[in-house]
Amino acid sequence: MTPRKASLRVAHARSCPNASKTALASAGRGSGCTCQPSYYVATRDRDGRTVKSARVRDRRTAERLLERAQREIDEGRVGIAKPKEITFGAWADEFERILDQRIQAGELHPRTKGSYASTLRRGREAFGSLYLREIGNPELRLFLEPFAHLRPASRLRYLRELSAVLTTAIGDGYLETNPVPRFTKAAKLRAPKRGKAPFEDDELERLWAELGRLEAKVYLYACRFAVETGVRLGELIALEWENVDLLRGRVRVEAQWDDRVGLLEPKDREPRVIYLTPPARQVLAEWVGVVGARAAGPVFPGPNGGRLGRRDLQRRFEAAREAARIPKLHPELRLPRTLHSLRYTTSVLLQRRGYHPRLIEATLGHSSLELTYGVYGGWTPEMLAAEAARDLQA
């Protein structure tokens, strides 16, 4: 039997309602999928048996695998094509070029390349002259040796980045399988708890009191607006008055700010509209009362004009947190509190106020309710106790 067509399939987590489905339509918005699925290419060998490629998380990588598989079918080379070979050092150079292209196209944040720098440098040292197909457990143990003194979370980060590098090589035909996931599982490195801890209600009040002591009120209102709307730091800095419709209660988030590059597309390249709740409207109305009505320019400018500085806001926030005697690490959840914790607090606040899950998901700009509730929606023990004691008849 001669194979005629390759197809792209989806693999869901066992806990997902679509676990038994493989069609592309079973993933994405409106599909009922609650997991982050992986993708693979299905073909048939000359005996008619189904052959599956390695699973990859990135759909674009899977689509490149599909194109390559179909091309081999069309050319009659299925099962006889000579494997492509490349050394890790050469592939690391190519991977950096791929990152540069995606950054120039606006698909990646410029900081992404910097985050891979130490991983690629160590990879060149550990297996620079080896072909990618020669990398196995012994080589991966060598890769991890210089990081032995680091915490498991840091070692896992390097392995995740290396895994992404090798997964991209699968899409370009230099590998069939990625050796990193199996190695990571065998190494039994325990991943830390994900995310940040939200702030308690009384902690927010103390934070606002400390930020309110600053002469420049922009820090207070920027943080209050962030906790009511869930905007990310870069989005907060990039927000322009022309994207604010206070009368209709809407804010359009269509950019993020990078201090080195300037305005960039928002995360995932998807603008979103935030529908303001009454508390969010109130914060914005109070801020208009401070700075006056504006038609253009940054909503939260720096004290001396221009954009609000990312690190400046972070430093002011951390100083206020310390002055308010709020511990960096939540005493019970053992998760850190940072400026980004305001975004986690948004999810919890909106849940407790009784807003619909879909509004919370849309406000935060998440792709699934699993992310909104599973990662960002965690309540603290104090919040759970207060909810349990609430009088439903009141």
- Convert the pLDDT of each residue in 259-300 to its tens digit: 878 888 887 778 899 999 999 999 999 999 999 988 899 999
Helices and strands (H, E) in the chain, number of each type:
15, 8
What is d(CA 109, CA 99) in angstroms, rounded to the nearest whole number?
10
Contacts of residue 79, Cβ cutoff 8 Å, sequence gap at least 6: 45, 46
Contact 90, 169 (CB under 8 A): no
Residue 235 DSSP code: H
What is d(CA 196, CA 326) in angstroms, rounded to the nearest whole number?
14
Is residue 1's pLDDT more than 50? no
Helices 59-74 and 152-171: angle between axes, nearest 10 degrees: 30
Mean pLDDT of the chain, nearest integer:
86
pTM for the full model?
A: 0.60
Q: Strands (DSSP E) along 138-205, which ranges?
A: none
What is d(CA 123, CA 143) in angstroms, rounded to the nearest whole number?
6
Output the DSSP codes for 320-359: HHHHTT--SB-TTT--B--TTHHHHHHHHHHHHTT--HHH
pLDDT in tens, 111-153: 788 889 999 999 999 997 888 988 999 999 999 999 888 877 7
Contact 378, 233 (CB under 8 A): no
Give the pLDDT band of residue 196 (cuts 50, 70, 90): confident
Q: What is the pLDDT of residue 269?
A: 75
Contacts of residue 207, Cβ cutoff 8 Å, sequence gap at least 6: 199, 223, 317, 320, 321, 324, 326
The tokens 């979103």 sit on which residue? 272
What is d(CA 133, CA 180) in angstroms, rounded to the nearest whole number?
12
